[in-house]
Amino acid sequence: MRLLFLGDMVGKTGRTAVWQRLPGLISDLKLDFVIVNGENAAGGFGITEDIFLETINAGADVVTTGNHVWDQKEAVSFCERHDQFLRPANYPAGTPGKGSGIFYARNGARILVANIMGRVFMHPELDDPFKSAEAILDACPLKEQADAVVFDFHAEATSEKQCFGHFVDGRASFVVGTHTHVPTADHQILNGGTAYMSDAGMCGDYDSSLGMEKEEPLNRFISKMPKGRFEAAHGPATICGVGVEISDRTGLAEKIAPLRLGARLAETLPEFWR
């Protein structure tokens, strides 16, 4: 089974690039399942229902989020209408929407996707991500109720991300980090068979500060005084993500490689899909 994860879409340039390229990627790479993180898709802050639906129409099977999930007020209502929209599962009980679910891949496989948010340097500080993941896995074990298990771990600290990967190693097919908007070079298969990457990177303009026009962030580092608002950068986007090949027999990873397409970073496609 072939699964593609695309990192945080940032602003119009990021989401438009994903919408334009994703249908072709699904066809050319014979993808069975696609997950896209959309928490920065609306001007860099949150996601609207229209953007969510357009991302699904482009071929995404699930849209995950993170700490910016509620930045657009309409998300509080539309999250209840769409099973394919996930907010972090470790929000307190009673929070609108859901943090995990079972979805069906194009080959008929049952995919458990869970969105978890870390707590180190993150706001708001949510419930224990490790306990939340344990409860999700207990309710839907790999190769029992699910043919594959994927975690989007939305967190700042790479140490927390790595420890989470080791925590679910052998019980999940794939753990991918989001939030930092910078693709890491540590894609690997852990000892127990779980594919892991600390951060998938973003889908957005890399001539920026994390997808934002660089002048205002730079000003705040130098002067410590705001002069204006952060605005999403509008230059040509690079799509960043990671591809994983998962065993139909075991539900564990067999191959992993980054995907980068666009104007700024060196392009790469998973060699095993060429």
pLDDT in tens, 238-260: 999 999 999 999 999 999 999 99
Residue 123 catalytic? no
- Dump pLDDT digits (tens) for 9-58: 999 999 999 999 999 999 999 999 999 999 999 999 999 999 999 999 99
pLDDT-above-90 percentage for the chain = 97
Which pTM value belongs to this model?
Answer: 0.97
CATH number of residue 263's parent domain = 3.60.21.10
Question: Which has more confidence, 268 or 130?
Answer: 130
Contacts of 156 (CB under 8 A, 6+ apart): 118, 120, 121, 122, 179, 180
**pLDDT at residue 272 above 90?**
no
Q: Between the CA of residue 72 and those of 14, 40, 75, 217, 255, what are the distances in Å?
A: 17, 10, 6, 22, 37
User: Please, what is the Cα angle at 236 between 235 and 237, to 5 degrees?
Assistant: 110
Q: Which of 68, 154, 181, 187 is catalytic?
A: 68
Sign of the CA dihedral 71, 74, 79, 84?
A: negative
> How many domains is the chain built from?
1
Which residues form the domain of 67?
2-273
pLDDT range class, residue 210, cuts 50, 70, 90:
very high
**pLDDT at residue 269 above 90?**
no
